[in-house]
Amino acid sequence: MNARIESLVRPEIRALRAYQVPESAGLIKLDAMENPYTWPEALQSEWLETLRGLELNRYPDPKGLVLQAALREAMAIPDEMGVLLGNGSDELIQMLALTLAQPGAKVLSVDPGFVMYRMIGLFAGMDYVGVPLQSEDFSLDLQAVLAAIERERPALIYLAYPNNPTGNRFDADDMVRIIESASGLVVVDEAYAPFTDASFLGLVGDWNNLVVMRTLSKMGLAGLRLGYLVGPPAWLAEIDKVRLPYNINVLTQVSAAFALRHKAVFDAQARAIRAERSRLLEALDSIPGLHPYPSEANFILTRVPAGRAGAIFAGLKQAGILVKNLDGTHPLLADCLRFTVGTPDENAALVRALGGTPARDGPGLGAGNKSAHFGAL
């Protein structure tokens, strides 16, 4: 290694691998929890008209006030709560870490969970404390979390609701116990809000250490990279101090505000994804050797036969389908793949490649058989 790099770059950064996004051109993309549906043609045309006349030579509104107003109306954000915009949830996670990263400060979450909680905490110089979930169903180990809070006194706690990559939603009463036991700030990450009926958004303000983080990516706007944080104005005023100026570009501001005025279109897409999730879960469950876990997100975590995750992942890719291989990322995710819920045709292709029979191919959902088991692999 270059001696200058070795002497100047922090050792914990040198020890990391950069976050990898696989090439997906030409593949059915079921790896990144995206909404698979595009905008209706008429909506696309109307949106393009809104972009005419934008002054790209000028900086955007630094606070995105028009966009904030659209978010408040579309998402029923309580009037007395503040809103802070981020370039995706990742930037909000970064702002939270930078705000609270005093010497010795710690960030706590559950494992397996969203990897950026740990990585961005490390970038900011915070120690990460991960509390394992229950092995049988990925539920919270409440006593272990409470003990870790008492022992570590974390400045920042993340609870994804529902959780990524497991897809389950934690018990709300357990979440409340954690919020009330924490001396630090608790962030409830509701990235998958379009696919569940439970939320803490209406409860911000009930505790002075609770904020809720969301993104528009999963509802169908992943390309805009827009996240938002909702919480007590006093908290958001401090976090806003580390936000880079003009962090939300003018195209994102105008496009997102337009999309939120047509939220009914995206709500209908979310309902279609939920329906497909149920069908896909049933199909996967009928394939011998697979154990899909119930999900309230737009993906399904599935355990495959021991030692086969890598081969099945590679076989699916050879068949033109890209999924997420989680085997080896955490002990509780051994032999696990994660399947994003796609369109009916995409899901049918996945089931066929895994050796099952989609509903459209015959009676019953996923009526697999031993001879066809992982047939395409």
In a domain, 54, yes or no: no
> Of 233, 261, 289, at which residue does a domain stop?
261
Is the predicted pLDDT of residue 1 greater than 70, yes or no? no
pLDDT tens, position by position, 89-147: 999 999 999 999 999 999 999 999 999 999 999 999 999 999 999 999 999 999 999 99
Rounded to 5°, the CA angle 295-299-305 comes to 85
Is the predicted pLDDT of residue 368 greater than 50, yes or no? no
Q: Are residues 90 and 162 in the same domain?
A: yes
| The token pair that represents 192 in the structure block | 């998958």
Is the predicted pLDDT of residue 364 greater than 90, yes or no? no
Is the predicted pLDDT of residue 376 greater than 70, yes or no? no
Is the predicted pLDDT of residue 333 greater than 70, yes or no? yes
In a domain, 44, yes or no: no
pLDDT tens, position by position, 242-294: 999 999 999 999 999 999 999 999 999 999 999 999 999 999 999 999 999 99
Residue 105: the pLDDT is 97
Radius of gyration of the chain measured on its C-alpha atoms: 22
Share of the chain above pLDDT 70, in %: 95
Residue 359: the pLDDT is 59
The confidence band for 369, taking pLDDT boundaries of 50, 70 and 90, is very low
Task: Count Cβ atoms below 10 Å from residue 212 Cβ, excluding itself.
Answer: 24
DSSP secondary structure of 191-258: TTGGG-S--SGGGTTSSTTEEEEEESIIIIIGGG--EEEEE-HHHHHHHGGGSPTT-S-HHHHHHHHH
* CATH number of the domain within which 368 lies: 3.90.1150.10
pLDDT tens, position by position, 337-354: 999 999 999 999 999 999
Q: Are residues 242 and 325 in the same domain?
A: no
Q: Are residues 284 and 347 in the same domain?
A: yes
Q: Are residues 68 and 182 in the same domain?
A: yes
Q: Are residues 235 and 359 in the same domain?
A: no
* 156-176: b (≥16 Cβ within 10 Å) or e: bbbbbbbbbbbbbbbeeebbe
Rounded to 5°, the CA angle 357-359-365 comes to 75
**In this structure, are residues 377 and 353 in contact, taking their beta carbons and an 8 Å threshold?**
yes
> Of 213, 241, 261, at which residue does a domain stop?
261
In a domain, 56, yes or no: no
Q: Which H helix or E strand runs over 336?
A: strand 336-340
Say what angle helices 250-261 and 41-51 make with each other, to 10 degrees: 140
Q: What domain range includes position 103?
A: 61-261
